[in-house]
Every structure is written in C-alpha cells, then in structure tokens.
Amino acid sequence: MKKGLLIVISGASGTGKGTVCKELLTREAGIAYSVSATSRAPREGEMDGREYYFRTREAFEAMIAAGEFLEYADVYGNYYGTPLAPIEERRAAGEDILLEIDTQGALNVMERCPDGTFIFLLPPSLEELQRRITGRGTESEESLARRLAAARDEIQLGKRYRYAVLNDTVEAATDRIQTILAAERLRADMDPEQFEI
Amino acid sequence: MKKGLLIVISGASGTGKGTVCKELLTREAGIAYSVSATSRAPREGEMDGREYYFRTREAFEAMIAAGEFLEYADVYGNYYGTPLAPIEERRAAGEDILLEIDTQGALNVMERCPDGTFIFLLPPSLEELQRRITGRGTESEESLARRLAAARDEIQLGKRYRYAVLNDTVEAATDRIQTILAAERLRADMDPEQFEI
C-alpha cells in the first residue's frame, strides 16, 4: 500500500494560505483537510469535527499530556492543535492529508513528521504583502507596521522548508503546488514495496 | 542567482538509464550532461572532453589524491570518475547537470552532494528486466542468471534514493522525471535570495 502525503502549507501572515488551500482542495478531491482541535467555544454555524474538534481546556490538556498532538499552541488563552493519530491512520490507508498551518506550527511538525511535504508560500513582493495586510483595514498604522516587520522576519523561516512557492496568483501558486505533489508521490519512501520485484 | 540542480539518474543494470537520459536531454536542452574522466584509451571516434576526459592512470591518480572526484571507480583495471569542480561551477551559474551513473557511484555522490536530485529507475517487472538482460544475447545462461540476481539485489538500493521512477516506457518515465525536476526547481534551498524581501 502506497503511503499518503502529509502536505503542510504554511507561510507568513497575509500570504494567502487559506485561499490557496481552498483552491487545491477544489482541484484535488482526493486530498483530505486535517481538522484541528481547539478549546475555544464553537461559533455560530460551526460543527464539531468539521471546522474543529471542540474540546474543553481540561480535555485538551489531557490530550497534550498523552502526546496526542502533532503540534499545538496556546493562542490568547485558547488551545489549538493537530491530533496525530487520525493523520497517521489516514496516511497509512493511502490518503493525502492537507495541513494549513502557521510557521511556528509547521516548524514543530517538521520535528515530529520529517517525511511531510513542507511548502512555504511567498508573497509576490513587499508591496503586495503590505497591501494584503493593510487590506483588512481594521488596524492602526503602528500595528500595521509591526505586523509587516513581523511578516518580513517570518518570511526568513521559509529557508527551513523544502519548497517555496510564489503566491502571485492563486491559480499559478496552486499549479506549482500540484507539480510538487505529483513529484512527491514518486518519492521512494512512500512505496517501499515497489523495490521487491 | 538560482542554483542549478544536480540530477542523478541511476538504476540497476538493464533498467534503461541511457535511453531515458537521452530522451530527457532531447526534451530539456538546458540540461548539461556531466562528462566523466577515464584512464582507458579513447576508442575510434571518441573525443577528449565529449565522451570522456581521457587521462593517463598517473594523471587520474593525482586527481584522486587531490580530492577532485565526486566519485570514482576502478572497473576492470580502468578508472572512471566524475570531476567535482566543473559541476559545482556550472550549478553555481544556474545550470542543471545530469549524471547518469550506476548505483554504487550514486551512493557515493549522495555522501558528497546530499542536495542532488537522486532518481532511481525501476524496471516494470522481473520479466521485463529478464528480457532486457537476455536481450543483449551475448552471455551464457549461468552468467545471465547471475546478472539477474545481482539486478534484483541492486533494485533494493532504490530505497535509499529520494525518487523512484518506473521505466515502463521511455516516454512515461521521462514525463515523470520532468515532473520531479519541475518540483525540485521550487526547492527553497535552490534560491535563498527569494526570502529577502
């Protein structure tokens, strides 16, 4: 049985991870989106097991203690994390799993799952990054400048990923990601049985 | 400046490396073929620097002593080797270099150049491998059986490569290799400057 890929799409804040992942899932129906767990309360319309696995802080902490997360973080008092077991099970069954995750999370996943496919999304330019961050239009100038500087620092982390994909347009970025996935499906370690002839 | 790839195409005896490499070079004119050095005498029509760099045993041994080879081997009393310097220079200038090499040589290259693109060619089946080895038609049955067993052992080495490509037809195998190369050109480490925005 050929093993499925763990596709990790990451990038600095404002580089358009979400839009690219959505386009990829539309094009490749066989890829499953990894559902995260969180300790925050569900919002209107959110369903347990679809947007998130909703867990109490206590239940989440028990999962941490049991080593059940591929990575997790405490964001403004709420836990977010990626349960490892469902990912491993689905990959063993040959299914590709997509993880859309911030840079800190991705670096943690690299430690636990070095055989993942780590893709860093690059904004086309500093100006475009600025435009995308400003575009949300809800922050002070100081806050925006701070976010832009943080994003530039974060882009340096891209060097630690295997692949870097320019997100100039959603279509072109998704084309590049599909090329990467086609190649990764030819990795020797995804199908050890093929050497037994 | 984007760094060029070191493309290493390898595989067991009789898997059709030569034909696939030729097809790849026809399709991608930008890829340069790495010329080996040898201590054997030139044959009719062979030209120094085209088929091989022809060197005396003494000159070849001086190059070994100076650490000038990416890999080398003594085959039935003749040296064959891959000079490292021209490969590094051309990669630094952005050129992709193709190395067609046996499995022992490829494993040595992995040590010296871990950032190479290591592709292992798989024969479509044991029967086909048998047919290809028998096809040369110049050997005893015993010698053929020995070569077939050696080829099966050699195929196990494919697990150590990053990519495995089935050589069912030259066209399909070359398509797969081109997909791999397109993805490898998106590797983060091939273009570190893209993270300085």
Q: Measured between CB atoms, does A133 come within 8 Å of chain B?
A: no
User: From CA B6, how far away is CA B78, in angstroms rounded?
Assistant: 25
Give residue A136's pLDDT band: very low, low, confident or very high (50, 70, 90).
low
Give residue A3's pLDDT band: very low, low, confident or very high (50, 70, 90).
very high
Shortest Cα distance, chain B CAs vs residue A136, angstroms: 21
CA-based nearest residue to B195, from A157, A194, A3:
A157
Consult the annotation and say whether A22 binds a ligand: no
Question: What pLDDT was estimated at residue B183?
Answer: 98
Would you say A70 and A84 are in contact if contact means Cβ atoms under 8 Å apart?
yes
Would you say A158 and B158 are in contact if contact means Cβ atoms under 8 Å apart?
no
Consult the annotation and say whether A15 binds a ligand: yes
Calculate the average pLDDT of chain A: 93
Structurally, what CATH architecture does the domain formed by A35-95 represent? 2-Layer Sandwich (3.30)
The strand ranges marked E within A66-110 are: 69-75, 78-83, 97-100
Question: What pLDDT was estimated at residue A151?
Answer: 86
Structurally, what CATH architecture does the domain formed by B35-94 represent? 2-Layer Sandwich (3.30)
Residue B147 clears pLDDT 70, i.e. is over it = yes
CA-based nearest residue to A181, from A98, A106, A122:
A98
Question: What pLDDT was estimated at residue B136?
Answer: 62
Q: Measured between CB atoms, does B27 come within 8 Å of chain A?
A: no
Question: What pLDDT was estimated at residue B95?
Answer: 96
Question: What pLDDT was estimated at residue A145?
Answer: 86
Give residue A139's pLDDT band: very low, low, confident or very high (50, 70, 90).
confident
CATH number of B1-31+96-197: 3.40.50.300
CATH number of A1-31+96-192: 3.40.50.300
CATH 3.40.50.300 occupies which residues in chain B? 1-31+96-197
Mean pLDDT of all residues in A47-62: 94
Does A184 or A49 have the greater pLDDT score?
Answer: A184
* Token pair 């491993």 in the structure block, residue: A88
Residues of chain B contacting A189 with CB distance shorter than 8 Å: 159
Q: Do B195 and A123 touch (CB under 8 A)?
A: no
CATH 3.30.63.10 occupies which residues in chain A? 35-95
Helix (H/G/I), strand (E/B), else coil: A164: strand
Residues of chain B contacting A128 with CB distance shorter than 8 Å: none
Q: At what angle do helices A126-135 and A141-156 cross, to 10 degrees?
A: 130
The model's pLDDT over B59-112, given as tens digits with 9 standing for 90+, comes to 999 999 999 999 999 988 999 999 999 999 999 999 999 999 999 999 999 999
The model's pLDDT over B16-44, given as tens digits with 9 standing for 90+, comes to 999 999 999 999 999 999 999 999 999 99
The model's pLDDT over A29-52, given as tens digits with 9 standing for 90+, comes to 999 999 999 999 999 999 998 889
